[in-house]
């Protein structure tokens, strides 16, 4: 490849994000030797094929929106609050806790899926987009939840899963059993290879080949996730029309927007070519940022989202910071924001690895994003969700350190630019659980991974030891409301075991204690609500080159604030004097000469 062509390709956001992933961020074309250029041939071909828009930053004043200022709280309904003693969280249970969320300072509630589903993936396998799963309640319960949420001045967004449906959805059942079905082409069917193997080498996210074989049709159907989650064919305009109807149906009911599950996966490359191991999960590069993605997102925006004062956040599975911008720039009229999870693990690490996450990595990841004051894009600030072990425990498992780190994360969240997300229990400092055996796993991802490790020759002990720290069950243990039986989550038998520390860490104790993690979150959120400078203000890093220290100011015409954080477990000298500044919130009782382990504080300068 000639250097000019390489230079041109390296301008592309997708190439830049991929270079990040390969640990080659920001290298100029001249820095690539011939061997590396050859090795990265699949990257150049992929980038050349996509020719996706280059994001051009826009500078000036941010326009103010409710969803930019919002603190959004994710509820995993199955584990939040059970009102009828069946051990499963439900909508009446959520209604009973709305005052708790209001007290915390939540502006928006995001519900993980509550639609009718066989629960192969706990609701991310939708069987009916316009019906409530009976375990959660009725549509009347939902209408009451929405009304009670709005009554308290809060908004509610739904989790919409549009890359796939359950194989029990009527569309798929019709495709499978009715030779004249109008829904056959709603899914991705292919003939297998002559030797009887699947159409290509793609692997699912859940440790299996990404194809199911249906002998009655002698065809294979694609599933990027579980074998009961069948990928939809977005090339089909009739499918897109059905999706637009479903979005409008919920928006007309009054919901305030959507979290869009793995929405960047909906466009697959023509021909579904084999995946290259270079990109990790086999097949990933053929769909993580496909050629018609922008077209599909613009279509949904034009025919649904933009017709209401709605908010959308896409889950950008596998996207990097730059490709995320290309989808969330407001001038593109696609999505308002996109989750970027690039900071959830250190490069080269995965969620199953039990390593000490270095907050210096988080700082170096966050600073460039925060310093990029492009008003055409808006970030999300998120550390926890239902797919990952608790962020707190990635940094430390020491209880005393966790007391400080939980508050440091809270203070960072509430003083950075972006829409802020909290995951249920994060506000209490809930932690990971010491699962006792694989029989306690409920998560399809963990169960499949455990099986595949055994099949690959690992012992049961080895397989369990690998999966337990990273199973998504870590984030799904029941919400801890009291120190009483089952932490007040249910009067029955919880569907998933509780974490180990609910006597100490629960809402009843923490809401009554002004020094608790809950109270710290409440105060930090109150600061963010009181000072919009913390939302929209200019971001300037303080001595970014200093290791183990993260400091920054936020300022605009309305005020100036300074945040200092010690990112490690030993004392460091304070690089900037805080004399004359008003300390608004700190995770220590006082201000000492130096910064103590994981010390974090926000000051008002003016």
Catalytically annotated residues: 261, 315
- # residues contacting Ca ion (CB under 5 A): 5
How many whole angstroms separate alpha carbon 101 and alpha carbon 359? 28
Partner touching 261 among Ca ion, ligand TEU, none, CB below 5 to 8 Å by kind: ligand TEU
How many whole angstroms separate alpha carbon 73 and alpha carbon 423? 6
Partner touching 86 among Ca ion, ligand TEU, none, CB below 5 to 8 Å by kind: Ca ion
Give the phi and the psi of residue 584 in degrees, each rounded to 5: -90, -35
- Min. distance of Cβ 497 from Ca ion in angstroms? 17
The DSSP H or E segment spanning 145 is helix 139-151
Binding of ligand TEU at residue 351 (CB under 6 A)? yes
Task: Give residue for tokens 């390969």.
Answer: 22
Which is closer to ligand TEU, CB of 262 or CB of 468?
Answer: 262
Which is closer to ligand TEU, CB of 15 or CB of 317?
Answer: 317
The residue within the footprint of ligand TEU, chosen from 387, 432, 564, 599 (CB under 6 A), is 387
- # residues contacting ligand TEU (CB under 6 A): 14
The residue within the footprint of ligand TEU, chosen from 156, 161, 332, 499 (CB under 6 A), is 161
How many whole angstroms separate alpha carbon 500 and alpha carbon 434? 7
How many whole angstroms separate alpha carbon 90 and alpha carbon 222? 32
Which is closer to Ca ion, CB of 87 or CB of 318?
Answer: 87
Binding of Ca ion at residue 496 (CB under 5 A)? no
Partner touching 120 among ligand TEU, Ca ion, none, CB below 5 to 8 Å by kind: none
Which is closer to ligand TEU, CB of 476 or CB of 505?
Answer: 476
- Min. distance of Cβ 492 from Ca ion in angstroms? 8
Which is closer to ligand TEU, CB of 161 or CB of 422?
Answer: 161
How many whole angstroms separate alpha carbon 211 and alpha carbon 198? 6
Q: Over 422-464, what HEC string results?
A: EECCHHHCCCCCCCCCHHHCCCHHHHHHHHHHHHCCCCHHHHH
The residue within the footprint of ligand TEU, chosen from 44, 76, 80, 205 (CB under 6 A), is 205
* Of 178, 172, 272, 173, nearest in space to 232 by CA: 172
Residues of the chain by 3-state class (helix, strand, coil), percent to 5:
35, 15, 50
Binding of ligand TEU at residue 121 (CB under 6 A)? yes
Partner touching 84 among Ca ion, ligand TEU, none, CB below 5 to 8 Å by kind: Ca ion
How many whole angstroms separate alpha carbon 541 and alpha carbon 454? 48
Partner touching 351 among ligand TEU, Ca ion, none, CB below 5 to 8 Å by kind: ligand TEU
* Residues 42, 43, 44, 46, CA torsion sign: positive
Q: Which of residues 433-472 bind ligand TEU (CB under 6 A)?
A: 445, 472
Which is closer to ligand TEU, CB of 296 or CB of 552?
Answer: 296
How many whole angstroms separate alpha carbon 479 and alpha carbon 498? 8
How many whole angstroms separate alpha carbon 423 and alpha carbon 185? 37
How many whole angstroms separate alpha carbon 83 and alpha carbon 105? 23
State the CB neighbour count (10 A cutoff) for residue 546. Answer: 16
Partner touching 256 among Ca ion, ligand TEU, none, CB below 5 to 8 Å by kind: none
Binding of Ca ion at residue 141 (CB under 5 A)? no
- Min. distance of Cβ 388 from ligand TEU in angstroms? 7
Binding of ligand TEU at residue 345 (CB under 6 A)? no
Partner touching 225 among Ca ion, ligand TEU, none, CB below 5 to 8 Å by kind: ligand TEU
Binding of ligand TEU at residue 262 (CB under 6 A)? yes
Judged on CB neighbours under 10 Å (0-12, 13-18, 19+), 587 is buried
The 58-97 contact track toward Ca ion, x by CB under 5 A, reads ------------------------x-x-x-x-x-------
- Min. distance of Cβ 301 from ligand TEU in angstroms? 21
* Of 305, 290, 377, 303, nearest in space to 160 by CA: 305
Which is closer to ligand TEU, CB of 261 or CB of 432?
Answer: 261
Tokens representing 477? 């243990």
Which is closer to ligand TEU, CB of 288 or CB of 561?
Answer: 288
- Min. distance of Cβ 46 from Ca ion in angstroms? 46
Partner touching 115 among ligand TEU, Ca ion, none, CB below 5 to 8 Å by kind: none
Orientation angle between helical segments 321-328 and 13-21, nearest 10 degrees: 150
The residue within the footprint of ligand TEU, chosen from 115, 124, 288, 464 (CB under 6 A), is 124
The 214-253 contact track toward ligand TEU, x by CB under 6 A, reads -----------x----------------------------
Please enumerate in sequence order all residues whose Cβ is within 8 A of that of 40, keeping only pairs 6 or more positions apart, or say none.
22, 32, 278
- Min. distance of Cβ 591 from Ca ion in angstroms? 47
Q: Which of residues 522-581 bind ligand TEU (CB under 6 A)?
A: none
Please enumerate in sequence order all residues whose Cβ is within 8 A of that of 470, keeping only pairs 6 or more positions apart, or say none.
350, 351, 352, 353, 388, 389, 446
Q: Quick one: how far is CA 216 from the chain centroid?
A: 38
Binding of Ca ion at residue 212 (CB under 5 A)? no
Partner touching 294 among ligand TEU, Ca ion, none, CB below 5 to 8 Å by kind: none
Q: Which residue is nearest to ligand TEU (CB)?
A: 124
Partner touching 260 among ligand TEU, Ca ion, none, CB below 5 to 8 Å by kind: none
- State whether residue 604 is helix, strand or coil: strand
Which is closer to ligand TEU, CB of 226 or CB of 553?
Answer: 226
Tokens representing 401? 């350190």
Q: Which of residues 308-327 bind ligand TEU (CB under 6 A)?
A: 315, 317
Partner touching 141 among Ca ion, ligand TEU, none, CB below 5 to 8 Å by kind: none
How many whole angstroms separate alpha carbon 544 and alpha carbon 539? 12
The 25-64 contact track toward Ca ion, x by CB under 5 A, reads ----------------------------------------
How many whole angstroms separate alpha carbon 427 and alpha carbon 392? 11
Cα–Cα distances (Å) from 565 to 164, 172, 508, 519, 584, in that order, read 42, 52, 29, 19, 14
How many whole angstroms separate alpha carbon 350 and alpha carbon 516? 31
Q: Which residues bind ligand TEU (CB under 6 A)?
A: 121, 124, 161, 205, 225, 261-262, 315, 317, 351, 386-387, 445, 472
Q: Which residues bind Ca ion (CB under 5 A)?
A: 82, 84, 86, 88, 90
């Amino acid at each position: 490849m000639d250097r000019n062509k390489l230079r041109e390709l390296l301008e592309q956001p997708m190439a830049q994000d991929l270079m990040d992933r390969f640990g080659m961020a920001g290298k100029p074309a001249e820095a690539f030797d011939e061997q590396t250029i050859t090795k990265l041939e699949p990257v150049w071909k992929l980038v050349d094929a996509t020719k996706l828009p280059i994001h051009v930053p826009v500078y000036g004043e941010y326009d103010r929106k409710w969803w930019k200022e919002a603190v959004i709280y994710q509820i995993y309904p199955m584990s939040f609050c059970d009102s009828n003693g069946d051990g499963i969280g439900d909508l009446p249970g959520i209604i009973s806790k709305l005052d708790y969320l209001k007290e915390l300072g939540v502006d928006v509630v995001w519900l993980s899926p509550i639609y009718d589903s066989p629960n192969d993936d706990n609701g991310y396998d939708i069987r009916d987009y316009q019906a409530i799963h009976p375990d959660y309640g009725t549509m009347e319960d939902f209408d009451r939840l929405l009304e009670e949420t709005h009554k308290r001045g809060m908004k509610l967004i739904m989790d919409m899963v549009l890359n796939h449906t359950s194989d029990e959805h009527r569309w798929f059942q019709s495709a499978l059993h009715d030779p004249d079905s109008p829904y056959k082409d709603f899914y991705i069917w292919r003939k297998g290879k002559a030797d009887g193997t699947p159409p290509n080498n793609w692997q699912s996210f859940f440790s299996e080949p990404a194809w199911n074989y249906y002998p009655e049709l002698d065809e294979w159907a694609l599933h990027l996730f579980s074998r009961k989650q069948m990928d939809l064919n977005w090339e089909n305009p009739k499918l897109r029309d059905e999706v637009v109807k479903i979005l409008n149906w919920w928006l007309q009911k009054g919901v305030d927007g959507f979290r869009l599950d793995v929405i960047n996966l909906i466009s697959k490359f023509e021909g579904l070519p084999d995946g290259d191991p270079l990109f990790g999960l086999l097949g990933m590069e053929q769909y993580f940022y496909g050629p018609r993605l922008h077209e599909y997102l613009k279509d949904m925006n034009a025919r649904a989202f933009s017709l209401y004062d709605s908010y959308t956040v896409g889950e950008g599975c596998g996207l990097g910071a730059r490709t995320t911008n290309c989808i969330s720039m407001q001038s593109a009229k696609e999505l308002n924001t996109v989750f970027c999870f690039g900071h959830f693990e250190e490069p080269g690490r995965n969620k199953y690895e039990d390593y000490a996450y270095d907050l210096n990595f988080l700082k170096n990841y966050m600073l460039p994003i925060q310093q990029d004051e492009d008003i055409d894009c808006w970030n999300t600030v998120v550390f926890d969700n239902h797919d990952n072990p608790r962020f707190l425990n990635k940094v430390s498992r020491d209880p005393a350190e966790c007391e400080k780190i939980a508050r440091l994360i809270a203070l960072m969240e509430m003083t950075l630019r972006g829409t802020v997300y909290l995951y249920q229990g994060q506000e209490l400092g809930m932690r990971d659980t010491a699962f006792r055996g694989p029989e306690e796993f409920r998560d399809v991802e963990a169960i499949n991974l455990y099986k595949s490790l055994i099949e690959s020759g690992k012992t049961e002990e080895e397989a369990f030891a690998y999966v337990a720290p990273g199973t998504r069950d870590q984030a799904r243990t029941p919400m801890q409301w009291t120190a009483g039986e089952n932490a007040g989550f249910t009067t029955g038998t919880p569907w998933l075991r509780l974490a180990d520390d609910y006597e100490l860490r629960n809402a009843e104790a923490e809401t009554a204690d002004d020094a608790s993690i809950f109270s710290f979150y409440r105060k930090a959120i109150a600061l963010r609500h009181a000072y919009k400078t913390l939302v929209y203000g200019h971001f300037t890093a303080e001595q970014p080159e200093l290791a183990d220290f993260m400091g920054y100011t936020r300022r605009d015409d309305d005020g100036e604030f300074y945040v200092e954080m010690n990112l490690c477990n030993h004392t460091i000298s304070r690089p900037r004097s805080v004399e004359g500044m008003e300390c608004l919130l700190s995770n220590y009782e006082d201000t000492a000469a130096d910064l103590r382990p994981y010390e974090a504080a926000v000051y008002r300068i003016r």
